[in-house]
Amino acid sequence: MDGKYLLKRGMTWYVRFAIPEMVQDIFGKKEFVQSLKTKDFQEAKLLKLKFLDRYAQMISGAQKQLGP
């Protein structure tokens, strides 16, 4: 069971990913939360992957804006 980054609200699964503290000001929030629009846990595990990849890219871009 790999429910990491998954959150269930009611019957719907969401992906939840914490934003590193150093770039939270850029995004204006502490975490990304997005509905996966599914009630099925197995489907949610697959759907979360595209969001996690997108979030990682966004955070990487924000870190580059901050510089070394």
> In this structure, which amino acid lies at residue 32?
F
Instruction: Quickly tell me which residue has 């996966």 as its tokens.
Output: 36
pTM above 0.85, yes or no: yes
pLDDT for residue 68: 67
Q: How crowded is residue 33: how many other Cβ atoms within 10 Å of its Cβ? A: 13
Task: Give every strand in the sheet of 12-18, ordered side by side.
Answer: 6-9, 12-18, 31-35
Rounded-to-integer distance, Cα 29 and Cα 37, Å: 22
SS3 state at 20: coil
Q: Where are the alpha helices (DSSP H) in the chain?
A: 24-27, 41-66
pLDDT for residue 66: 83
What mean pLDDT comes out for the span 40-66?
96
pLDDT for residue 39: 98
Given a cut of 90, whether residue 67 has pLDDT beyond it is: no
Per residue in 3-45, pLDDT (tens digit) is 899 999 999 999 999 999 999 999 999 999 999 999 999 999 9
